[in-house]
Amino acid sequence: MHSSVTDEPAPALAEEPPDTGPRDQQRHRLTSLQGLAALSLDAMASIAYGPEAIVLVLAAAGAHGLGFTLPVTLAIAGLLAVLVASYRQVIAAFPGGGGSYGVARAHLGRRTSLVAAASLILDYVLNVAVSVTAGVAALTSAFPALYGDRVWLCLGVLVLVTAVNLRGIVDSAKAFLLPTAVFVGSILTLITVGLFRDGPVSEASAAGHASALGDDATTVGALLLLKAFASGCSALTGVEAVANAVPSFRSPAPKRAQRTEVALGALLGVMLIGLSVLIGRFHLQPVEGVTVLAQLADASLGHNWGFYVVQFATVVLLALAANTSFGGLPVLMSLLARDNYLPHAFALKADRQVHRHGVLALAAVSAALLLFSGGDVNTLVPLFAIGVFVGFTICQVGMVVHWRAERGPRWRAKAALNGFGALLTGVSAVVVTATKFTAGAWLIVLALPLLVLAFGRVHAAYDRIGRGLGLGRIPDCPHRDRSLVLVPVAGLSRLTSEALTAAGSLGDEVLAVTVTHDEEPDRLAAQALRRDWELWSPGVDLVELPSATRAVGRPIAAYARHLSAGDPALRVTVLIPEVEPPHVWQRLLHNQRGSVVAHAVRKSSDAVVCRLRFRLPPE
């Protein structure tokens, strides 16, 4: 059952975009170049830690093991080509976005699609935390005095990225276009210059640092290569983001998204292979405290301004790589909300075509992770990349089923390509999970089924609401019942008059009610109100509701229940008049009695609650 529940809260409905023309809507969507800046930062930033992950694993086999850096990287580049080709087909087949979730929902069933969605959500959330902490870690490495404030720096970067994305994905793409261009340009320059070097021009960055090279191993086993391959595959995170966010592109969205996916794959592949070639050319070894990318920049460009440009661009891009999640996850959450697996508020868009609730939810969970980890990237890295491999595998298997069902031209070759990709990503998922299980990956193994279970609970709740509302069935014809409006009053004023006038427009009968207490001041106030009411003679009876306590809301709710029980055909409405002063701070001066009454009536009666705002004019 696909339906929207009609009792969404007013603030969420208020975010529905105004009626705008197609041209205005297209203005808030991405071009291919903007999509590359907005959705590729995660993948681009992985250049900073992907090759290093390979080198650190192979270093356990000594210098001989480092010789396999390029073959392992070529295998990863081959997998990248398979993934790009696959997701290019996913974009064409599922232009509504969702990536692996959309594929699995169409071809692998509900349960598998929810596993895919849960894996993507976990990966996107972890990407934000890992990217921000890695960027801040790079910054504190350059400026050690900031290390003690790393948590606040992480939260500050997160607030900045969130604020930019709340203005819309196009604004975020424009803001991050320059840092992306500087990073890509600096890495390509580093590679180009390095290919013309016979040896490293400088080794200043690694001087004085202890080597991380293993001395006790001279052979390279298949398990070590497999582990290096799985670790290096962290460079592939973010490849699926474009397919998840197809609706964010300008028309024709699928073609623009396909071009962005191909450009991302080409740039990422060239940079991965180029850096691996330079690692072998310069015979680099991992050292403690200095990244492999920093050593490459030093060896290729020298320890000069070019070196610092690469480092600064890396810091900025790592910190902003979280933007990939802000571009892809809210779209995925909107699809889940439309399928009744998440609250419907996540499907709403603000006036800048941004899923504001998804952006804020992602920021909140990421902030919690940053506080939990204390801003330490090493605490989060073992949790990273597992979810994305699960999503990769499910997507590839789903596309195999898609080609078999479609049986179009060359469907066997396409299915074989996706099947091979599913095998590679599936093996990588198993290896990464097994090797990082004790380091924290068990949290992901636990969180994945819990998230799927939560999806099921939300869906079941919407099913119950739908059955209660009779969604999908023709309801009984509307009819008119006798209506009675209760107006709580505490004294005579313009507010009282406005409330009784509005009540007379709403119902057949109107009653004013006031809650009285036994204490002397309250008894005198009740007598004065009764006397003034008789003198005023508004044509509406005043009913006194005695209360032994100081409660105001419960006596009114009990009276509403009493009226409904006495006449089941009677529709009771409680109209609560409230003053709204011209300045926000002045609202703090009021006793909030209207909110207390509204809560009590809504909680313990079936009466309709209406709140009349009486706006005072500015002086």
Structure tokens given for 156: 């500050």
**Cβ neighbours, 10 Å, residue 584:** 8
| Closest to 70 in 3D by CA, of 235, 281, 261 | 281
Alpha-helical segments (H) within 437-551: 442-469, 494-506, 520-536
Sign of CA dihedral 378, 382, 387, 390: positive
pLDDT of residue 575: 93
| Residue 564, amino acid | S
Length in residues, the chain? 619
Annotate 145-214 with three-state secondary structure: HHHHHHHHHHHHHHHHHHHHHHCCHHHHHHHHHHHHHHHHHHHHHHHHHHHCCCCCCCCCCCCCCCECCC
The CA distance from 180 to 188, in Å, is: 12
DSSP 8-state code for residue 287 = B
pLDDT of residue 170: 60
Are 30-102+124-206+220-374 and 482-615 equal in CATH topology? Answer: no
Structure tokens given for 184: 């890509």
Which residue positions in the chain have pLDDT lower than 70? 1-28, 62-63, 97-99, 138, 141-144, 168-175, 204-221, 288-290, 319, 349-355, 375-385, 439, 589-591, 619
The CA distance from 92 to 86, in Å, is: 10
| Closest to 396 in 3D by CA, of 178, 86, 89, 67 | 86
Cα-Cα end-to-end distance for the chain: 54
pLDDT of residue 19: 40
pLDDT of residue 513: 92
CB of 556 within 8 A of CB of 600? yes
Structure tokens given for 386: 């597992």
Bridge-based pairing state of the strands 571-580 and 509-516? unpaired
SS3 476: coil
| Closest to 316 in 3D by CA, of 135, 172, 128 | 135
CB of 338 within 8 A of CB of 102? no
The CA distance from 203 to 302, in Å, is: 8
Can you say how many angstroms the Cα of residue 534 is from the centroid of all Cα atoms in its chain?
Answer: 60
Q: What dotted CATH number matches 30-102+124-206+220-374?
A: 1.20.1740.10
**Burial 232-271, CB ≥16 within 10 A → b, else e:** bbbbbbbbbbbbbbbbbbbeebbebbbbbbbbbbebbbeb
Which architecture, in CATH terms, is 482-615?
3-Layer(aba) Sandwich (3.40)
SS3 570: coil
Cα distances from 477 to residues 480, 484, 572, 573, 608, in angstroms, run: 10, 22, 20, 21, 20
The answer to whether the predicted template modeling score (pTM) of the entire model surpasses 0.85 is no
pLDDT of residue 15: 41
CB of 300 within 8 A of CB of 196? no
Domain ranges within the chain, ordered by starting residue: 30-102+124-206+220-374, 482-615
Helical axes 411-436 vs 386-406, angle rounded to 10°: 160
